[in-house]
């Protein structure tokens, strides 16, 4: 299944636009309860205004809140970023640490966020157990665990450590584009022959093809051996959740 995922999603990557650990840490804090697309719309102006941990630590709350408003829960996120900046300045000389044990002590940074930062900013392999990852690995029978830390451990034991970060990206890509929470596109899924949960969504190709999302929807059905003409323009234009 991992090999098929790699073939299906050769473009898999961290979908939060960033340059360096601090920007990625900030973007992941902002990604809570919103889409990566929305975060990427907000961060260019944010990153142009705030360049360092000290900038966030000393930010004007009202100004920062206004910049973050489109991401939702902007007051809480403003508090998290100010506190994050202060903690980095006080404890790490303004630099984002590159160890899991340090990252999870920072305001707004949980284990999931820490693994995103480690894998994508520091090249340290990590498994990102977000809602998509949790849903898919359970559907696929990779683990029956429900606790994110136990899921991380169980799935990590199935794969070489060097593959953890890219595996996470591919699973999340698949969850956002094909294997949706309510109606997975089973009939247009490259993993269908291997999936123990096939049938949770429509298995007929025409119905399944309509459920795909994103600019590579046509390529995804071709990879699944389905007529690309079945993919409507609305699927290609659909916002990836």
Q: Could you tell me if 96 and 145 lie in one domain?
A: no
pLDDT 10s digits, 144-161 = 999 999 999 999 999 999
Instruction: Tell which residue, 169, 182, 177, 172, has the closest CA to residue 231.
Output: 177
pLDDT 10s digits, 9-26 = 999 999 999 999 999 999
- Residues with a catalytic annotation lie at 112, 130
pTM equals 0.94
pLDDT 10s digits, 100-119 = 999 999 999 999 999 999 99
Cβ atoms within 10 Å, residue 6: 14
Give the model's confidence band at 67: pLDDT under 50 very low, under 70 low, under 90 confident, else very high: very high
Give CA angle at 116 (81, 160), nearest 5°: 160
CA–CA distances in Å: residue 31 to residues 106, 206, 228? 16, 33, 33
In a domain, residue 131? The reply is yes
Cβ atoms within 10 Å, residue 55: 16
Q: Once rounded to an integer, what is the mean pLDDT over residues 184-188?
A: 98
Structural domain for 214, as ranges: 186-237
Could you tell me the CATH number of the domain that includes residue 144?
A: 1.10.1670.10
């Amino acid at each position: 299944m991992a090999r098929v995922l790699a073939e299906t999603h050769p473009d898999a990557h961290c979908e939060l636009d960033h340059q360096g650990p601090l920007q990625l840490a900030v973007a992941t804090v902002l990604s809570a309860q919103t889409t990566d697309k929305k975060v990427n719309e907000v961060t260019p102006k944010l990153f142009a205004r705030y360049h360092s941990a000290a900038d966030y630590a000393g930010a004007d709350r009202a100004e920062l809140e206004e910049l973050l408003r489109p991401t939702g829960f902007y007051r809480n996120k403003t508090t998290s970023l100010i506190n994050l900046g202060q903690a980095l300045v006080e404890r790490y000389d303004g630099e984002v640490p590159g160890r899991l044990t340090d990252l999870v002590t920072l305001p707004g940074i949980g284990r999931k966020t820490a693994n995103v930062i480690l894998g994508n900013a520091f090249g340290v392999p990590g498994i990102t157990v977000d809602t998509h990852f949790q849903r898919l690995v359970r559907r696929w029978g990779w683990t029956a665990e429900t606790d994110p830390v136990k899921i991380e451990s169980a799935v990590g034991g199935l794969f070489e450590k060097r593959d953890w970060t890219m595996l996470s990206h591919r699973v999340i890509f698949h969850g956002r584009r094909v294997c949706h929470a309510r109606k997975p596109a089973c009939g247009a899924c490259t993993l269908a022959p291997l999936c123990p949960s096939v049938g949770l969504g429509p298995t007929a190709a025409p119905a399944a093809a309509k459920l795909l999302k994103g600019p590579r929807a046509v390529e995804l059905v071709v990879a699944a051996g389905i007529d690309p003409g079945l993919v409507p323009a609305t699927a290609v234009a659909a916002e990836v959740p």
